[in-house]
């Protein structure tokens, strides 16, 4: 498929979103067609998503929307497929059940004036079952180095801005050969952001809210713990800590990671949790049960569960 080079390519994976994807397409109409391509990757949908997309594109009579059909491989696989077809200066990853906000057009028009390889913006969280919106803003704003960005928007802190891709534009040259990890089903977005940050790109924190991320009641299922989720989060956390190691003392982050993963293992009623907890502290040369240890984890928690095997 021959997609012309413009300022921005939007890559949107679609799987069984035959109704919601039409709203996404409509919302993208606020963007200047001469500067933006919208690449919709149908990831082997079993509903009528492909036909819904094509019908909507025909209805709108637009020539900057492109549909790519592929066999099902998951969201990371679909995004990676979109990257193979991208040709514009910047790339923006969106989801088909979300919406692009009007101020995104201002952000696109600003692309030519900013010397940045990653542009990050505020966004809106919309809780559909409550009909309630929450604006997510970040500070500081403006131009900064990747090192400053990692510290100011630390995943392990209170100002996290690392675990999403849909509120930022990536310069395609900064992405390079990096791709989404198709073996992961959780935290893969954070790993991708960290990969791009490893190139030491210039970062710009914008002020326009460009995106509405819709939350659905069914999303609460993703909060359920599983061994696979813990493994993916561990992988992302360790990559995150390795990145921070270059710019700060990561003792608090290592402690946070160990405590959080221990709590998740307790919730899963895993065996040998205490052994895991002690061994992880040894690996990072931390002492167990220190003063600043997470209050949710004490020796009492381990003795409270008879299924735990002590070392």
3-state class of 132 per DSSP?
strand
- The CA-CA-CA angle for residues 218, 126, 103, to 5°, reads 140
Least confident segment among 12-16, 46-50, 219-223, 235-239:
219-223
Question: How many Cβ atoms are within 10 Å of 5's Cβ, its own excluded?
Answer: 11
Q: What's the pLDDT score for residue 282?
A: 82
- In the chain, count H helices and then E strands: 11, 12
pLDDT at 71 over 70: yes
Which residue carries 């509120």 as its tokens? 167
Asked whether residue 193 carries a pLDDT value surpassing 90, the answer given is yes
Name every residue whose Cβ is closer than 8 Å to that of residue 71 and which is 6 or more positions away in sequence. 44
List, in order, residues 6 or more apart from 171 with CB less than 8 Å away: 89, 90, 91, 116, 117, 118, 201
Distance separating the N- and C-terminal Cα atoms of the chain? 59
Percent of the chain scoring above 70 in pLDDT: 90
What is d(CA 45, CA 81) in angstroms, rounded to the nearest whole number? 15
The residue-averaged pLDDT of 39-47 equals: 98
The pTM (predicted TM-score) of the whole model is 0.91
The whole-number pLDDT of residue 283 equals 76
Q: What's residue 143's pLDDT?
A: 96
The pLDDT tens digits of the residues spanning 201-237 come to 999 999 999 999 999 987 765 667 899 999 999 999 9
Average pLDDT rounded to a whole number, residues 159-186: 97
What are φ and ψ of residue 126, in 5° steps? -120, 120
pLDDT in tens, 107-116: 999 998 999 9
∠ CA 22-24-30 to the nearest 5 degrees? Answer: 115
Task: Identify the three-state secondary structure at position 73.
Answer: coil
Mean per-residue pLDDT for 69-75?
Answer: 98
Q: What is the mean pLDDT of residues 21-43?
A: 98
pLDDT of residue 288: 57
Question: What integer best gives the mean pLDDT of the chain?
Answer: 91
Question: In this model, does residue 289 exceed pLDDT 80?
Answer: no
Length of the chain measured in residues: 311
pLDDT class of 287 with cuts at 50, 70, 90: low
C-alpha 169, offset from chain centre: 12
pLDDT digits (tens, 9 = 90+) for 122-151: 999 999 999 999 999 999 999 999 999 999
The pLDDT value given to residue 160: 95
Mean local confidence (pLDDT), 152-179: 96
């Amino acid at each position: 498929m021959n997609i012309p080079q413009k300022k921005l390519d939007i890559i949107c994976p679609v799987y069984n979103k035959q109704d919601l994807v039409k709203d996404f397409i409509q919302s993208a109409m606020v963007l200047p067609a001469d500067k933006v391509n919208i690449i919709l990757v149908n990831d082997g949908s079993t509903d009528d998503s492909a036909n819904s997309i094509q019908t909507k594109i025909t209805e709108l009579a637009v020539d900057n929307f492109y549909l790519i059909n592929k066999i099902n491989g998951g969201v990371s696989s679909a995004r990676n497929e979109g990257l193979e077809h991208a040709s514009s200066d910047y790339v923006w990853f969106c989801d088909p059940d979300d919406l692009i906000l009007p101020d995104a057009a201002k952000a696109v028009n600003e692309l030519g004036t900013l010397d940045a390889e990653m542009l990050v913006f505020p966004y809106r969280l919309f809780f559909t079952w409550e009909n309630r919106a929450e604006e997510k803003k970040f500070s500081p704003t403006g131009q900064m180095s990747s090192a400053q960005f990692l510290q100011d928007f630390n995943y392990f802190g209170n100002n996290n801005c690392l675990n999403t891709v849909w509120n930022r534009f990536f310069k395609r040259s900064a992405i390079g050969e990096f791709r989404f990890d198709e073996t992961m089903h959780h935290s893969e977005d954070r790993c991708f952001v960290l990969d791009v940050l490893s190139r030491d790109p210039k970062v710009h924190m914008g002020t326009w809210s460009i995106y509405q991320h819709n939350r659905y009641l069914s999303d609460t299922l993703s909060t359920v713990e599983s061994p696979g989720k813990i493994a993916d989060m561990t992988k992302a956390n360790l990559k995150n800590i390795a990145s921070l190691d270059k710019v700060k003392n990561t003792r608090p982050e290592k402690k946070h990671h160990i405590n959080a993963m221990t709590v998740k293992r307790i919730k899963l009623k895993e065996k040998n949790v205490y052994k895991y907890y002690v061994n992880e502290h040894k690996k990072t040369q931390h002492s167990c049960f220190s003063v600043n240890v997470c209050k949710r984890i004490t020796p009492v928690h381990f003795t409270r569960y008879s299924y735990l095997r002590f070392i």
